Homo-oligomer: A and B are copies of this chain.
Amino acid sequence: MFTIRQIAEALGAEAQGDLDLLIAGAAEPQDATADQIAMAMAPKYAEGLQAGQAQAAILWENADWQSFGLKAAIFATRPRMAMSGVTGMLDRGQGFAGGIHPAAVIDPTAELGKDVSVGPLSIIGAGARIGARSVIGPHCYVGSEAVIGADANLREMVSIGARATIGNRFRAQPGARVGGDGFSYVTPEVSGAENARKTMGDQGEAKAQSWVRIHSLGAVTIGDDVEIGSNCTIDNGTIRDTVIGSGSKLDNLVHVGHNTRVGNDCLLCGQTGVSGSVDIGNNVVLGGQCGVVDNIFIGDGVIAGGGTKILSNVPAGRVIMGYPGVKMETHTEMYKAQRRLPRLMRDIELLKKAVFK
């Protein structure tokens, strides 16, 4: 339970009314009970406030809070920042018990920091090191010689491969995979795929061959404050490590191939896939289901719309979209032209009739 005063102070926001009112949780305005604070940060939620039972709300700036029959209100200047503060305060977590569960399997050579907790049926491998206060959820696997920093939070069924190095405040959602082997093969002689890539379409005389494996000697290095989503996969590097920079966030089912370097503070949205040996700068945002071909670079601050397939280098700061990804304005212009294409074709028919008849 928090008072309105405590919540407002945590948000650095202005509050009015009964600042000692106690709040047990948050709710959408129409669903709120009397002890919940209504999240109503835009005028469109006014109606919901009337329908629900909330006595307090987080409102848009300058809202006439008393007109909604509230006892107290907090005013959000940047609604999603307020959402961050409130949800962080009220998060009840997953209810994982503290301590080392007796059904965990921990190698005697593993080093666990102060107040580390390990859930039931989790495995900590030989020589692994886990920083203070980290929570290793149930059914997790931390491979041999892997290092995880302080204050990590691993949900259930997360796996971390051998020799991964992970910074502080790491978060991993259920089923996230760090450190699978890279997908890397070669044919003894030049393959049709190599030829087709060079010629943009011609396989040449290459014969059918079997694939020979290139092993992954590298591991994965992850910075501080990284979060990775459910069932996402980050592969080991071939010789050096695959790298995810500090502050970067990967959504569910995101794939990062071997040797790739993702910079700091990047956002890789759901089901985005990055091939091997890609170099991604800082503050890059890739929307959902983006794809990135191997061996290219993406400059700092690039933003790619959902579904963009990035097939060549992208200079810093560019906003791109499409398959293949091009500058957003080019994409928009091309797309508009495509929509007009059927009409255009009729125009050309008329022109041909007029000119050549």
Contacts and interface: CB of A to CB of B under 8 A. Distances in A.
* Interface-centre pick from A90, A159, A352 (highest chain B CB count, 10 A): A159
Contact of A183 (B94, B270, B311): B270
Nearest to A125: B95
Q: Majority SS of interface residues in chain A? A: loop
Nearest to A341: B337
Copies in the complex: 3
Contacts of A27: 239-240
Interface residues of A, number: 138
Given A201-B329, A231-B231, A288-B275, A95 B145 contact: yes
A299 to B, nearest CB: 12
Interface string A228-239: 011111010011
Nearest to A269: B183
Nearest to A252: B233
Contact of A307 (B162, B202, B288, B309): B309
Contacts of A131: none
B356 A354 contact: yes
Contact of A138 (B123, B173, B239, B340): B123
Contact of A84 (B180, B212, B317, B354): B212
Given A202-B319, A323-B307, A180 B215 contact: no
Contact of A103 (B105, B214, B282): B105
